Structure 1
Amino acid sequence: MGETHNVRFEPVDLEIEVDEDETILDAAFRQGVSLMHGCREGQCSACKSFLLEGDVQMDRYSTFALADYESDEGYVLLCKTHAYSDCEIELINFDEDELRNAVPLQHLRTKITGIDELTHDIVSVKLELLEPATFDFKPGQYADLMIPGTEDHRSFSMATTPTMAGRLEFIIKKYPGGHFSGLLETTFEVGHELDLNGPYGSFTIKESSERPIICIGGGAGMSPILSLLRHLSELEATGNAKVRPVHFYYGARTAKDLFYLHEIKEIGNQLPDFGFVPCLSEETTADWESMGVAGDFGFVTEVVERREAGLDAAEFYLCGPPPMVDAAMALLDGAGVPIDQVHFDKFTTTVPQDS
C-alpha cells in the first residue's frame, strides 16, 4: 500500500481517502461513493473530471476518451487517475442522488446453471449464487466475471433483477478469439464455478424523473435494458410504478439476430405505455406478423430519428456495440438532449469488432 491522501469533490462537498496504489474511482467504490463511470478502462470518458488542485498521475488511457489538449488543460479520467497529494476535483457529470446512494461492492462465488444459445453469436449464461446467497445491485448495473486461474476479468451486465433471488443471467456476445468467448466454447459448462465482483455502473432508472424513457440497444446490449424492463414490470405488478412511456428500439442485422421477443411482448403487456421496435439493418423485408412484433428497417438510430419527436424531453438508456452508442450519442447531441438525460454502457472487447 502507498501513502493515503484526501480527495475532495466539488460542487458536491464530498471527500474520500485515496491510496496511491488505487485509482480515485476504485477508492470511491471502496467507500460507497457512486461517481459517474462507464467502462472503467479509460476508453469511454464517462468519469472525465477537472483537476482543480493537487498532484496526480494517470495510467494509460485512450485519447478518444481524453484528448491530449484536454489533459493539458487539467481534465482527468478518474478510472485511471492516482493521487499523490491531497486533491480537489470538480465533477463534470454526476447525479447527486446516486452519488450518496451507492450499492457497496461485493465479491461472490457462483455456479453455472445454464449456457443457452440465443443467436449464432449471443448466449445466455445463468448463474446460481453460492456465497453469499444474495447479491445487492440496482437493475441495469454490471459485474466483473473473473477468468479462472488469472487476475483478469470481463465486464457483463446483469439481465436479471435483485428480486430474482439467488440467480443471475448475463447475455454475452461471443467474439472469435475472445478469451472469455473461448472459455464458453471449450471450458465452461453447467456446474463450473465463477467468481464475480460488483456491482458497477450508473445505467439505472432515475426514480426522481418523470420523463418518458427511450431505450436503444443492440447485440448483447439487450442485457441491462432487459433488467430495466423486468424491474419496471415488477414495480407495475406491485403498484409502485410511475406512469412513464417506455419505448425500446433494438438494432440487429437480420431477423435471425433477434431473441427474447416473446418475453419483451409479455413485459409490454404489463406496462401501461410501452412500445418495442426491433430494427433490421441488413434486411428490407421480414415476417413481423409471425414474430408478433411491429418492426422497422435501417440502423436503429435512423429508426429512432424517424419515429421519435421531441427527443430532448426524454430520458435515454443506450447499450450496445461502440459504433451504435457513438451514433446514438451523436443523434441525441444534435437533437439538443442534455447529457444528464443520457445513460449508457459502451463495453470494449479484447479483440477487433466489426462495426
Structure 2
Amino acid sequence: MADKHRINFEPVDIEMEVGEDEYILDAAFRQGIHLMHGCREGRCSACKSFVLDGDIQMENYSTFACNESEVDEGMVLLCRSTAYSDCTIELLNFDEDELLGGVPIQDVRTQVTGIESMTKDIVSLRLQPVEPAAYEFRPGQYADLKIPGTEEHRSFSMATTQSTPGHIEFLIKKYPGGKFAGLLDNAISVGDEISLTGPYGSFTLKEGHVLPIVLIGGGAGMAPVLSLLRHMSETGNTRPVHFYYGARTPADLFYVDEILRLGEGLTDFTFVACLSESMVPQPAGSIVVEEGNVTDVVSRREPDIGKTEVYLCGPPPMVDAALALLEATGTPSDQIFYDKFTSPAFE
C-alpha cells in the first residue's frame, strides 16, 4: 500500500490526505476538494501552485505550462505532481465558493440515445444516464468519456444543463485519427453503453456577478458556451450578453435558431457569427455576420471589453489569440474564464 502524506493548502487553510500513487489534484477530487483545474494533462497551467514546504515531484507536463525557471522557484502543476512527504502548498488560483462546494465527481453508466451530424466535422452525441439515473454538473463543465473497449478516455464539454438530468449532450469535433471521435461515424450506435466520469472544469458562470458578459467560442467550444446560454435563459439572467462564434464558412454554423431563441429572453443579447473564409449576405433577424477571425471581430465591436466578464472556449490558436487581445486591452485576469483544447485527450 502506498505511503500517505498530509497536504495543507494556503491561504485557505484546508488539509487533505494524498498517496504516493496518485496525483495531488486527483486526491483532492477524491476527497471533495475542487481545486482550480483545466486540462488535467499538465498543459494548461490552471492548477499551477507554489510549494512552500515538502517534497513534490512532477512528471509528464508541458514546459509551456510550467517552465524551468518557474519549477526552480517552486511552482508545480497539481495535476502532474506527486507528494513524497507532508507538504504545504500555496494556491495561486482558487474559488472559495468552489473549493468545498463543487459538484462531486461521479462515475456514470450511460446509453447512447442519439448521434447527429451538426456540420461536416462536428457531431452531437446524446447520452442517457442509466446508473445512476441522473448526472449532476454545472453548466460549462466537462466529463471524461471512456473509449469503448479500452481503458482510455477523452474529455468533452456538456452542452446541456441540469434542467434535463436524464439527457446529456456533447458536441464533438471529428479529427483525423481521433480515437473517440473516429468511432462516431459507424462504430458507436444508439443503444450502446459508454462510461462517463465527471464533472470537471471551472468554466462556470460566476453567480452574483453583475458585469456584462462576452462569450467567445469556436469549433466544439460551442458546447460549454451553449450550456451557459441555456442556463442563463432558464434562470432569467439579466446581465447583457454578447456571443461571438468563430467559423470558416456559413456551413460551419449550427444551432443558430436555438441561440437566437435563447437570446430573446436575455438582456441586450447579440449573436455575431465571425466567418474567416467566406461571407454571405447579411441575413434578416438578430444574427450578425462579420468577416474575419473571431478575435479581430471582438476587437472591433467590443472597445470596452475590459469592463466585462469574458468566457471563451475553443481550439488553442483561438484561445491564445483571445488571451493576447484581453491582455492588450487590460482586461483583469479575474474577469477571464476559459477552456482550451490542449491535447489529443480532447479528440
TM-score tier, shorter chain, comes to over 0.9
Q: Counterparts of 2:61 and 2:195 in 1: how far apart (Å)?
A: 27
How many percent of aligned residue pairs carry the same amino acid?
61
Asked if the contact 1:145–1:154 (Cα under 8 Å) also holds between the matched residues in 2, the reply is yes
Q: Counterparts of 2:219 and 2:94 in 1: how far apart (Å)?
A: 28
Asked if the contact 1:279–1:299 (Cα under 8 Å) also holds between the matched residues in 2, the reply is yes
Partner of 2:174: 174
Query: The residue matched to 2:69 in structure 1 has which SS?
Result: helix
Partner of 1:279: 274
Partner of 1:341: 335
Q: Counterparts of 1:330 and 1:99 in 2: how far apart (Å)?
A: 29
Instruction: Assess, with a 3 A threshold, how the Cα gap between structure 1 residues 300 and 346 changes in structure 2: closer, same or farther.
Output: same
Partner of 1:249: 244
**Quick check: 1:318 aligned with 2:315?**
no
* 1:279-323 alpha-carbon deviations (Å, 9 max, x no partner): 00112x313316862111111011111101222221111100011
Asked if the contact 2:155–2:345 (Cα under 8 Å) also holds between the matched residues in 1, the reply is no
* 1:325-345 alpha-carbon deviations (Å, 9 max, x no partner): 011111111111122211111
Query: The residue matched to 1:229 in structure 2 has which SS?
Result: helix
Query: The residue matched to 1:289 in structure 2 has which SS?
Result: coil
Instruction: Assess, with a 3 A threshold, how the Cα gap between structure 1 residues 127 and 46 changes in structure 2: closer, same or farther.
Output: same
- Structure 1 residue 347: deviation in Å? 1.6
Partner of 1:200: 200
- TM-score with structure 1 length normalisation? 0.95
Pick from 324, 328, 341 the counterpart of residue 322 of structure 2.
328
Partner of 1:288: 282
**Quick check: 1:225 aligned with 2:220?**
no
Instruction: Assess, with a 3 A threshold, how the Cα gap between structure 1 residues 128 and 245 changes in structure 2: closer, same or farther.
Output: same
Asked if the contact 1:23–1:80 (Cα under 8 Å) also holds between the matched residues in 2, the reply is yes
Q: Within 5 A, what are the aligned runs for 1:87-106?
A: 87-106=87-106
Q: Counterparts of 2:305 and 2:11 in 1: how far apart (Å)?
A: 28
Asked if the contact 1:178–1:351 (Cα under 8 Å) also holds between the matched residues in 2, the reply is no
Asked if the contact 2:29–2:105 (Cα under 8 Å) also holds between the matched residues in 1, the reply is yes
* 1:115-136 alpha-carbon deviations (Å, 9 max, x no partner): 1000000010011111101111
Asked if the contact 2:154–2:345 (Cα under 8 Å) also holds between the matched residues in 1, the reply is no
**Quick check: 1:258 aligned with 2:253?**
yes
Structure 1 unmatched runs, 5+: none
- Structure 1 residue 58: deviation in Å? 0.8
Q: Counterparts of 2:286 and 2:97 in 1: how far apart (Å)?
A: 39
Query: The residue matched to 1:324 in structure 2 has which SS?
Result: helix
Query: The residue matched to 1:294 in structure 2 has which SS?
Result: strand
Partner of 2:298: 304
Asked if the contact 2:44–2:342 (Cα under 8 Å) also holds between the matched residues in 1, the reply is no
Moved over 6 A (4+): none
- TM-score with structure 2 length normalisation? 0.97
Query: The residue matched to 2:344 in structure 1 has which SS?
Result: coil
